[in-house]
Structure 1
Amino acid sequence: MTQPPLRVIAIENVTLAREGQGVFAGLDLRLTERRVGIVGRNGSGKSSLIRLAAGLIAPQAGRVSVNGVDVVRDREGALATVGILFQNPDHQIIFPTVIDELAFGLEQQGRPQAEAREIAREMLARFGHADWEERLCHMLSQGQRQLVCLMAVLAMGPDWVFFDEPFNSLDIPAALRIEARIAELAQNVVLVTHDPARLGGFDRVIWLDEGRIVADGAPGEVLPAYVAEMERLARAAPC
């Protein structure tokens, strides 16, 4: 029986600076696990890491590949390999109607418009929202818009899906629904979050601080140390 190809994110000796500020210096990281969580304080490099892996920003030195695809130089290959959801769906949605939003990425992959729209309809039906086809995106709730972004990403068939604080600005029911959707995905997932409780069942957790890997391992090893450090910092901070 033929084994499926290994899904690998390879970040090799990467140096990255943004707006004149250093983010990573010689970062090496290899991800193969199905569920990877990333934690750290604001400004630690979490969002920059997944943007690198998605090919949305280019390092000044080093190489980033996902499943062998150079995601910076091969944008077509990147679209077929990785998908990313940002904190705010309004920073991601660009079309007025749901069907147009879902079809856009497929058309970027070279699919004819009619085929792209048919795949988009199938995705809506899969999630039980066939009636959303002509809905206006701006009339949907925050959680519903986040789901539209997820469906648009999944329609393109990536092997990896990156989530950048997907629970921000969501009420508890909407956050739980998105969390359940993430748990059901067949794709490999990398989740950036400030909430350690979301990562208890993950395979691996990486703790970043100022662009450095402080800890990298199983949730039961990394998260208690991370929480203890955050609590220490809270006690040390002036009121």
Structure 2
Amino acid sequence: MARSTLTSRRFSTLVTAMAITAFVTLGVAGCAPEPSAGGGSGGSSTATPPPIPTGVEGAAFFDEGYLKVGTGATVVDLYFDPMCPICGVFDKTNGAFLTDQVDTGAITLRLHPMNFLNRFSQGTDYSSRAGSALTCVAAQDESKTLAYFTALFAEQPKENSEGLTNEQLGEIAVSVGAMSVADCVANGTYTSWIQSVNDAALAGPIPGSDVKAIEGTPTTLVNGKPFTGSLTDAAAFEKFVADNS
């Protein structure tokens, strides 16, 4: 990867971190969709969407609406939008813990990619493209799913930017040992599925939970119970997982 590209990403990461600090200081709990968000709210493209895939492919459970990693008895559901800076905060705070819990067989982690923040990527539909990139990795090389998820947030662009290009999303996949997903993203293979996951989450109800609908990201459920503590309190989240396992 070119040195200038890495320097640019590091600068973007620094700017994003400054914005995140401001969000947390102001007490913002997460990223919320527009009040009218619903069916078709995520994307701006007028092209005919591809069909929604069904069945199971690698770690992608299309009918259930998630990407699954791990085999533990405790089920953790994470609803996220790749453009959401607070999702980035949550991953930086709790990502290593969740990865460890997956690796030790303590939890099953189910990732639900959403795209209501497409509106903050200057018409490039970054949330849909990044979610699709993750799905491409999950379907093609499921063992790299969680590594790619972590890398997406490590390289997360700031809101109101064009986001990463398809080529950059592909480079990140290669950096974690997976195949490039640039063509998979460009072909729009999973964009309709990302939209369907988004719309189902916003409309509700949420299966296996008393949560009526997802009102913002990140939303994390442990065996169906929502975590309502501070998104920057790792100890509180770890205790919540333990108490509800």
Q: TM-score range by the shorter chain?
A: under 0.3
TM norm structure 2: 0.27
TM norm structure 1: 0.27
- Structure 1 or 2: larger strand share? 1
- Structure 1 or 2: larger helix share? 2
